């Protein structure tokens, strides 16, 4: 099986994508940063009507708040004009109902908290609270949390908007 990188580079040679006209800066046009899961089924641009340059988009396993996410949010809100943060988890996530012990056996990593959860709505609420209470955000940054139902392609607000102080 050939490596994917070759087809990706060939695609880039056929269609080079330059920065979007009218969005020459690194500041997201909608003043938004979004954290979501790395799940390949999530097309955040289509789900939220985003275009290139509209938002900082962060992805990781489960869309969970980690120290690196907080670092990125701090930079986004203090230096790059972000005033609103959304956290979007989804149904059918591989971390929902999983256990650290099981994930440790499968990965061979024993000292990692994979941040599994049992209820997608509760995980969103917990992550929003972590961000709001972190002290990392610029004053008056708004934070909200939502759940995407993959079977419907719908996104529903779970909590917030809440303002970080």
Domain CATH number, residue 41: 3.40.1050.10
Q: Does a structural domain hold residue 86?
A: yes
User: What is the rounded distance in angstroms from the CA atom of residue 94 to the CA atom of residue 69?
Assistant: 20
* pLDDT tens digits, one per residue of 44-96: 999 999 988 899 999 999 999 999 999 999 999 999 999 999 999 999 999 99
Q: Does a structural domain hold residue 96?
A: yes
Q: Does a structural domain hold residue 14?
A: no
User: What is the rounded distance in angstroms from the CA atom of residue 123 to the CA atom of residue 44?
Assistant: 19
Number of compact structural domains in the chain: 1
User: What is the rounded distance in angstroms from the CA atom of residue 54 to the CA atom of residue 128?
Assistant: 21
Q: Does a structural domain hold residue 2?
A: no
Owning domain of residue 106: 26-163
* pLDDT tens digits, one per residue of 83-132: 999 999 999 999 999 999 999 999 999 999 999 999 999 999 999 999 99
pTM: 0.90
Q: Does a structural domain hold residue 133?
A: yes
Q: Does a structural domain hold residue 32?
A: yes
């Amino acid at each position: 099986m050939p490596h994917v990188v070759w087809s990706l580079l060939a695609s880039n040679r056929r269609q080079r994508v330059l920065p979007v006209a009218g969005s020459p800066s690194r500041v997201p046009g909608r003043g938004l940063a979004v954290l979501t899961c790395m799940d390949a089924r999530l097309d955040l641009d289509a789900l939220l009507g985003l275009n290139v340059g509209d938002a900082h988009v962060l992805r990781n396993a489960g869309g969970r708040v980690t120290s690196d996410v907080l670092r990125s949010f701090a930079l986004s809100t203090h230096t790059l004009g972000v005033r609103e943060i959304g956290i979007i988890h989804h149904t059918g996530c591989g971390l929902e109902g999983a256990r650290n012990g099981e994930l440790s056996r499968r990965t061979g990593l024993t000292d990692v908290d994979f941040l599994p959860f049992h209820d997608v709505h509760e995980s969103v609420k917990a992550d929003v609270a972590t961000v709001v209470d972190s002290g990392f955000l610029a004053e008056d940054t708004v934070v909200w949390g939502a759940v995407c139902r993959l079977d419907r392609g719908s996104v529903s607000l779970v909590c917030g908007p809440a303002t970080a102080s």
